[in-house]
A and B are shown apart, each in its own frame.
Chain A
Amino acid sequence: MPKLKEFIADFGWPRIIIFFFLISLFIAAPFVGVRLDASISDVLNRFGQYAILVLALVPMVQAGCGLNFGMALGIVAGLLGSTLSLQFGMKGMFGFLGAIVLATPFSLIFGFMYGKLLNKVKGEEMTIAMYVGFSFVMLMCIMWLILPYNNPTMVWGYAGKGLRTTISVENYWNKVLNDFLAIRIGRFFVFPTGLLLFVAAAAGGMWMFLRSKTGTAMTAVGSNPDYARASGISVDKMRTISVVLSTFLGAVGIIVYEQSFGFIQLYSAPSPMVFPAIAALLIGGASVNKATMVNVVVGTFLFQGLLTMTPSVINSILQTDMSEVIRIIVSNGMILYALTRKTKVTK
């Protein structure tokens, strides 16, 4: 009994409630006419789609920069990379990897400048980051219109210039990861092997990075900057590295998302991508300055599972569309919960 209590206290009530809610959704699914195999396939798919974006939050959390509310910067870098790859007509796996390579310089530059800014506002990173994200997305709204893209699949048909709000990657690199070594069982179940392998590789890389000398130093900076400084670590440098890494992974994350989703979404679309990622990490049990790979995997799975299952199951029961409402309540509620628990961490 005390062990169970300890486990619950450690794992946190919200996670347990969400977990059992998700289980009950799976159990209820067949009774309201929702196919279980299709649901599981959907959950796996969405898990892979979002996992890298959630993973992108980890370095900044570990380095004590808080939750990256400004991940929109990384997403924009990814959008630049993917639109450029389409502009250059790169297709298939080459197009997907090309998009990542093209996004890299942008993400490094944005990340470096963003990191410098966050070093000037220590203690207020999350608030500042949110506004950096919002204002940068708005700046890019202008840029998407005036940048000289001319691929006909991307620009507005009537003007011949300015990018559309939604661009299909159908003829370029749609689902290249999802379909890589994919296993099909029956009509409704697809196991997205390539996508999950990519996620596993990224998470494994992050795990190894956090165990390296630099990764250890970064964690120490997040845990106690004064201790790190007294041990000869440049706190600002470590923080900048974490922000650059986070921004880069944000760019990779959105490209992975696009290939699975099938569309590049521009203009104000990056902003609403950030909150669900943060909520997922927090559901996974991360705090504002400690996050592990387990947090990423568990959190993304629970959160995306919830998002996949609620529309189909709840809507079938209630005969009304509640999915968006539930998504917003869960994601914002989770962020609120995590921020109030911030004091639990010893400073």
Chain B
Amino acid sequence: MGQDSPLLALRAVSKDFYGNVVLQDVSFDLRAGEILGLVGENGAGKTTLMSILFGMPVIAETGGFKGSILIDGQEVHFGSPFDALDAGIGMVHQEFSLIPGFTTTENIVLNRESMRPSILNEVFGDRMSILDRSDMKKRSESAIAKLGVNLDPGMLVSEMPVGHKQFTEIAREISRKATRILVLDEPTAVLTESEADVLLATLKRLSSEGIAIIFISHRLKEVVDIADRIVVLRDGHAVKDVPAKGVSVRDIASWMVGRSMTDAAAASKDKLFGAEILSVEHLWVDMPGETVRDVSIRVRQGEILGIGGLAGQGKLGIPNGVMGLYPSGGVVTLQGKAVPLNEPRTALKAGMAFVSEDRRGVGLLLDESLDWNIAFTAMQIHGQYLKKIAGGLFTQRDEAGMKKLCEEYIQLLDIKCTGTKQKAKELSGGNQQKICLAKAFAMKPELLFVSEPTRGIDVGAKRLVLDTLRHYNRDYGTTIVMVSSELEELRSICDRIAIVDEGRIAGILPPTADIADFGLLMAGMKVDTTAEVANA
């Protein structure tokens, strides 16, 4: 017994959502006092795995999972998070699950408050007990002391800095007497470096007290520093399970992203690029969840520039900011002319177009017909598809012109629909994406921003969308800036790929660069980017 039998063991855990496999035969052990670093790209299955471990109802609702979970060698079945809590698993979520209007103490002991019997108990039972505030305070203080941080037990959560909120969550989990396993999902994502250091030190101390910790992070350096063992998930498989000793950040990065290289990557060899078409200097964008802090980047005429990076690092903020959809600042110059920010109209007029990542929210008029969807922006910005009446006194929509334009794109992009008057909401995701592209192409842009063009569409449509982009770039010389979280996709189509980390450009690499370098950039590590590519 003791150190030899694992505290927690996952055996061949598999999970699919309606046929879409997200986890396949994942197995690993966790011993008492061990820190396990769990890493993987977005969509590798980390969150799903934790949901299974924690008995989240979403798993049961979508058909349960295969495989088994063992605690102390006994197979367990969690019907709900409460069962997981009883079994001694504490979880600190990515999003804070704290009540803002309650104090630290109240949040830590929530639903486990110390009670004193009152006279009403005689009549109404335990529900009428009185809170024992002094004991609650004592308990929360002891939990905070165990963490070794400085938290005010009486402070309201809403008035706390983010770091303190994170500590409050951890304190809540460890204040449960039974907690033996602590799961932390991206605990350092919102913390400053010094706060993160304190947190890591705290975790080390907790593990020395015998608490087993599963530590999920994108910051690979932290993982290497703190973890005893590292499990790497990739496309739902646990591809590596190794002791952390001797593992370098570079190794982890290449395990994370290391797919076999696909075709077409080197197609850009013989391409010639024109002068600089777009320059962005010190751009900041206040886009919730995708904050851009300081981005400077240059785009050459005729190239396809890829922007990659992990979710929430700010890659989506760049096109949204340049196109004026979110408050932003900095200097954007298109073909030598400055483009004022925060004004979608001027950005469009200057010759830029944008295919939004939020297809249904921003990209389409779901309740309107396809010809409207495609022609609208060109009509409003360039005054096309309008007929002048009474000597230009007022205008009327040119329905025939809109229909012709729409039919053109239906044929060109192979859009599956019943006709130009079909409502956009009735199309499938892939065809909706093609409508969004058609809308942008109808603007005849000099520079096209495409954001997550293949998100949520099937493989065939993906291929067509990418081919269309390539075709427009090659045959019409449209410069394209493509933002995507799928690195392979970027590598297959782009001439250069910029990786964004924490709202800044971490580096620019050619698509042929070593896959590990991309992984390192995503993890916020320095990579020696070759000078010619970076400056080009």
Judging by beta carbons under 8 Å apart, are A290 and B367 in contact? yes
Judging by beta carbons under 8 Å apart, are B396 and A211 in contact? yes
Contacting residues of chain A (191-241) with chain B, CB-CB under 8 angstroms: 208, 211-213, 216-217, 219-220, 223-224, 226-227, 229-234
Q: Mind listing 19 A-B residue pairs with CB under 8 Å?
A: A212-B394, A212-B397, A213-B386, A213-B395, A216-B372, A217-B380, A220-B365, A223-B366, A224-B364, A224-B366, A227-B363, A229-B325, A230-B344, A230-B362, A230-B377, A231-B344, A232-B345, A233-B345, A233-B380
For B358, what are the chain A residues with a Cβ–Cβ distance below 8 Å? 226
Contacting residues of chain B (331-350) with chain A, CB-CB under 8 angstroms: 343-349
For B343, what are the chain A residues with a Cβ–Cβ distance below 8 Å? 232
The answer to whether A320 has its CB under 8 Å from any CB of chain B is no
The answer to whether A329 has its CB under 8 Å from any CB of chain B is no
Judging by beta carbons under 8 Å apart, are B365 and A223 in contact? yes
CA distance A231 to B374 in the complex (A): 11
Judging by beta carbons under 8 Å apart, are B368 and A223 in contact? yes
Interface 1/0 per residue, B380-404 and A, CB below 8 Å: 1101001000000011110000000
For A220, what are the chain B residues with a Cβ–Cβ distance below 8 Å? 365, 368, 372, 376
The answer to whether B356 has its CB under 8 Å from any CB of chain A is yes
CB distance from B395 to the nearest CB of A (A): 5
CA distance A108 to B290 in the complex (A): 41
The answer to whether A340 has its CB under 8 Å from any CB of chain B is no
The answer to whether B379 has its CB under 8 Å from any CB of chain A is yes
For chain A, give the interface size range: 20 to 34
CA distance A69 to B93 in the complex (A): 45
The answer to whether A345 has its CB under 8 Å from any CB of chain B is yes
The answer to whether A346 has its CB under 8 Å from any CB of chain B is yes
The answer to whether B425 has its CB under 8 Å from any CB of chain A is yes
CA distance A227 to B364 in the complex (A): 6
CA distance A211 to B394 in the complex (A): 10
Interface 1/0 per residue, B127-155 and A, CB below 8 Å: 00000000000000000000000000000
Judging by beta carbons under 8 Å apart, are A345 and B367 in contact? yes
For B376, what are the chain A residues with a Cβ–Cβ distance below 8 Å? 216, 220, 227, 231
Q: Which listed residue (A211, A230, A234) contacts B397, Cβ 8 A?
A: A211
Closest chain B residue, CB of each to CB of A222: B367
Which A residues have a C-beta under 8 Å from some C-beta of B? 208, 211-213, 216-217, 219-220, 223-224, 226-227, 229-234, 290, 345-346
Which B residues have a C-beta under 8 Å from some C-beta of A? 323, 325, 343-349, 354, 356, 358, 361-368, 372, 376-377, 379-381, 383, 386, 394-397, 425
Q: Which of A229, A230, A232, A234 has the most CB of B within 10 A?
A: A230
For B364, what are the chain A residues with a Cβ–Cβ distance below 8 Å? 224, 227
Q: Which listed residue (B363, B367, B368, B395) contacts A212, Cβ 8 A?
A: B395
Judging by beta carbons under 8 Å apart, are A232 and B362 in contact? no
For B344, what are the chain A residues with a Cβ–Cβ distance below 8 Å? 229-232
Judging by beta carbons under 8 Å apart, are A232 and B425 in contact? no
Judging by beta carbons under 8 Å apart, are A346 and B366 in contact? yes
Known A-B contacts A220-B365, A223-B366, A346-B367; A231 and B380 likewise in contact (beta carbons under 8 Å): yes
Q: Which 9 A-B pairs have the closest CB atoms?
A: A232-B345, A231-B377, A226-B362, A346-B366, A223-B365, A232-B344, A232-B348, A211-B397, A213-B395
CA distance A227 to B439 in the complex (A): 11
Closest chain A residue, CB of each to CB of B356: A230
For B381, what are the chain A residues with a Cβ–Cβ distance below 8 Å? 231-232
For A345, what are the chain B residues with a Cβ–Cβ distance below 8 Å? 367
For A212, what are the chain B residues with a Cβ–Cβ distance below 8 Å? 394-397
CA distance A219 to B373 in the complex (A): 12
For B366, what are the chain A residues with a Cβ–Cβ distance below 8 Å? 223-224, 346
For A213, what are the chain B residues with a Cβ–Cβ distance below 8 Å? 379-380, 383, 386, 395, 397
For B356, what are the chain A residues with a Cβ–Cβ distance below 8 Å? 230
CA distance A290 to B358 in the complex (A): 23
For B363, what are the chain A residues with a Cβ–Cβ distance below 8 Å? 227, 230
For A233, what are the chain B residues with a Cβ–Cβ distance below 8 Å? 345, 380
Closest chain B residue, CB of each to CB of A232: B345
Judging by beta carbons under 8 Å apart, are B379 and A230 in contact? no
Judging by beta carbons under 8 Å apart, are B380 and A227 in contact? no
For A346, what are the chain B residues with a Cβ–Cβ distance below 8 Å? 366-367, 425
Judging by beta carbons under 8 Å apart, are B345 and A227 in contact? no
Closest chain A residue, CB of each to CB of B362: A226
CA distance A232 to B324 in the complex (A): 9
CB distance from B432 to the nearest CB of A (A): 12
CB distance from B345 to the nearest CB of A (A): 3
What 16 additional pairs, Cβ within 8 angstroms, besides A227-B365, A231-B380, A233-B345? A208-B394, A208-B396, A211-B397, A212-B397, A213-B383, A213-B386, A213-B395, A213-B397, A216-B380, A223-B365, A223-B367, A229-B344, A230-B325, A230-B362, A231-B377, A290-B367
